[in-house]
């Protein structure tokens, strides 16, 4: 099993769309059994797959020891793709119940995921360096970093790099790559942004860039991935290419796809 935490220090980097579409591409085109975990209290990944966050339990009761993890897993329209949804209770889960008194609470998610029967687990983290993000990174084998070709997004990578390095000193964690979304091939500052990413995460900038495509927003409204709603769109093309590039970066011994 390969666990990937999808992370970003800034909102608006297409982190949730990237998580959803990589997961769907792995399940749809590579026949992998995939679990998506919405670990962001905004619950956009949950809504993006057509679920109402107010109707289902998140990982909160599981982390608190009141439910088994299998009880909160939802089936999606793709039989190979499952989801653990999010809700607003996630936002302060670490200061409530048994977690508040547990000095090792960051380790709990890793333990919960260790026995699940999936080829891939992808965790959509909040766009901040909080307890949820730290728990996800500790639980993960790899992190995929999302950014946009904008000044504040790229500058935020420096703090994220320090955060990841700190966690990596305690738990094995590999930076799988840096994915750029909302890409304009004719952007005048593209080279400068790429150089800054290379300086912060050497050798990690992914070749595939996700271009702007209104089809992503329209698919989210329908609660579907673009592979289902607009399979010939450039977003579908880019996300499949990105998934294939990520698979090529994974150790062959751990990836069946």
- Give the residue-averaged pLDDT of 90-101: 86
CA distance 225 to 218: 9
Integer Cα distance of 253 and 257 in angstroms: 11
3-state helix, strand, coil in the chain (%, to 5): 50, 20, 35
Of 77 and 99, the one with more pLDDT: 77
**Which pLDDT score, from 0 to 100, does residue 256 have?**
47
pLDDT of residue 257: 42
96, pLDDT greater than 90: no
What pLDDT, on a 0 to 100 scale, did the predictor assign at position 252? 60
State how far the Cα of 77 lies from the Cα of 208, in Å rounded to an integer.
27
- Residue 191 in this model has a pLDDT that exceeds 90: no
Collapse the DSSP code of 162 into the 3-class scheme (helix H, G, I; strand E, B; otherwise coil) and give the result.
helix
* Domains along the sequence of the chain with CATH: 2-250 (3.40.50.300)
- Say what the pLDDT of residue 134 is: 94
Q: Is the pTM of this model over 0.75?
A: yes
- Calculate Rg over the CA atoms of the chain: 17
DSSP state of 3: E
In this model, does residue 22 exceed pLDDT 90? Answer: yes
> At residue 115, does pLDDT exceed 60?
yes
The half-sphere exposure of 30 on its side-chain side, counting CA atoms within 13 A, is 23
The predicted-structure confidence for 116-134, as pLDDT tens digits, reads as follows 999 999 999 998 889 999 9
CB atoms < 10 A from the CB of 237, how many? Answer: 16
CB contact at 8 A, 106 and 99: no
Q: Which of 124, 104, 114 is closest to 48 using CA atoms? A: 124
pLDDT at residue 153 is higher than 90: no
> Is residue 254 predicted with pLDDT exceeding 60?
no
Mean pLDDT is lowest, of 71-85, 217-231, 234-248, for 217-231
């Amino acid at each position: 099993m390969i666990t990937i935490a999808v992370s970003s220090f800034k909102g608006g980097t297409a982190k949730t769309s990237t998580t959803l579409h990589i997961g769907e591409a792995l399940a749809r085109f590579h026949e992998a059994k995939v679990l998506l975990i919405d670990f962001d209290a905004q619950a956009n990944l949950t809504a993006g797959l057509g679920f109402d966050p107010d109707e289902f339990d998140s990982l909160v009761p599981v982390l608190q020891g009141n439910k088994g993890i299998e009880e909160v897993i939802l089936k999606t329209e793709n039989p190979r793709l499952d989801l653990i949804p999010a809700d607003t209770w996630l936002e302060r889960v670490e200061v409530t119940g048994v977690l508040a008194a547990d000095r090792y609470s960051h380790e709990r998610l890793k333990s919960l995921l260790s026995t699940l029967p999936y080829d891939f687990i992808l965790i959509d983290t909040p766009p901040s360096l909080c307890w949820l993000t730290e728990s996800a990174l500790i639980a993960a084998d790899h992190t995929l970093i999302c950014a946009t070709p904008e000044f504040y997004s790229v500058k935020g990578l420096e703090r994220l790099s320090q955060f990841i390095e700190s966690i990596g000193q305690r738990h094995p964690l590999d930076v799988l790559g840096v994915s750029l979304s909302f890409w304009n091939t004719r952007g005048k500052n593209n080279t400068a942004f790429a150089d800054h990413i290379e300086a912060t995460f050497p050798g990690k900038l992914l070749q595939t860039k996700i271009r702007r495509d209104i089809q992503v927003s329209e698919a989210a409204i329908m609660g579907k991935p673009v592979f289902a709603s607009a399979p010939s769109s450039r977003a579908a093309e880019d996300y499949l290419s990105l998934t294939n590039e990520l698979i090529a970066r994974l150790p062959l011994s751990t990836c069946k796809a």
